[in-house]
Homo-oligomer: A and B are copies of this chain.
C-alpha cells in the first residue's frame, strides 16, 4: 500500500497477531466456562466488569465501551437480568434511559469468575521469566492503544 514504509516485520507482526489472538481468546473462554460451571461468556464477563466499575451506567454507555451494538447489548443484558446478575431500571430523570447496576449475586459471580480466571492465567504466566511478562504487558499496552478505547 505505502511503498517504502512496509518492512518485513510489519506483515510478520500482523500475521502473528492474527494467529495468536484467537488462541488466547480460546484459552480465556475455556477457563471462564470451567469456572463454576458455564457461568459467564466473555462478553458477559466484561459487561459485568464494566457495570461494576460504573454502577448506574446506561445501556448505550455499556454498548459503546464493550463494543457491541445497542440491540446486541440489550439482549446480552436480558440474559444477565434473567439470571439476576444485573438490575435494569428506568432512570426517573430521563425515562428513555435504562440504569444498570449489579445485584449482590452478580457482584459475587463477577468476583469469583474474575479471581478464578485471572488466577488461572497468572498461574500459567508464573512459568515465565520476569522479562517475558514485561514484554507481554508492554505489548498489551501498545495493542490497547491501537484497538481499544479506554474501557475503564
A residues in contact (CB < 8 Å) with B: 1-2, 5-7, 9-28, 42-43, 46, 67, 117-119, 121-128, 130, 132-144, 146-148, 151
Contacts and interface: CB of A to CB of B under 8 A. Distances in A.
A141 B21 CA distance: 11
A138 B137 contact: no
Copies of the polypeptide in the assembly: 2
A133 B20 contact: no
A32 to B, nearest CB: 9
A16 B146 contact: no
A2 B122 CA distance: 11
A127 B146 CA distance: 9
A126 B140 CA distance: 17
Contacts of A27: 146-147
